[in-house]
Copies of this chain bind each other. A is one copy, B any other.
Amino acid sequence: MSEGVEWAVHCCLTLAWLGDERPVPAARLAAGYELPTAYLNKQLQALVRAGVLESVAGAKGGFRLARPLEKITLMDVVAAVEGPEDAFQCQEIRRRGMGAGAPEGRYRAPCAVSTAMRRAELAWRRALAAQTLAEIQAAAERQAPDLGRGVRRWYGQDG
């Protein structure tokens, strides 16, 4: 899995702490975590395509949340950044070699290996979909109640 997932989740949390009055440019979000702007921008665009973020054009443009953290699950972010494909990609090797001469219809049902692997990926996806970014934000704030204030101060929205 790419580092993009970690970046994307943290950026969503940052945007939530900043509120949605002012969109934040990719370069500012990147600076907040010392990330490469161009590569982060790719992830942010993916989040826009997934409807997680909104992109605002223009000199004062940037990114903001398209919906509240309560309505964004980890699954939304992982699917946006990593794509919808399963990690396990069945190559149907059962059809090769000794399986090549099998009768028509032998391969109508999905491979039992693939089915078992997909079952596990479904469990993973369900666990991702069961967790919202709001819950992650709440957990982070339980560890450090002044996190949001720190973010706003760093972005110059405080004081």
Contacts and interface: CB of A to CB of B under 8 A. Distances in A.
A159 B1 CA distance: 48
Nearest to A1: B87
Interface string A124-151: 1111100100011101100110000011
B10 A94 contact: yes
A94 B9 CA distance: 11
A97 B96 CA distance: 52
A66 to B, nearest CB: 19
Contacts of A111: 140
A1 B98 contact: no
Copies in the complex: 2
Most chain B CB neighbours (cut-off 10 Å) among A32, A135, A155: A32
Contacts of A115: 139
Contact of A93 (B1, B7, B131, B139): B7
A93 B123 contact: no
A113 B136 contact: yes
A31 interface: yes
Given A33-B97, A98-B150, A98-B154, A74 B109 contact: no
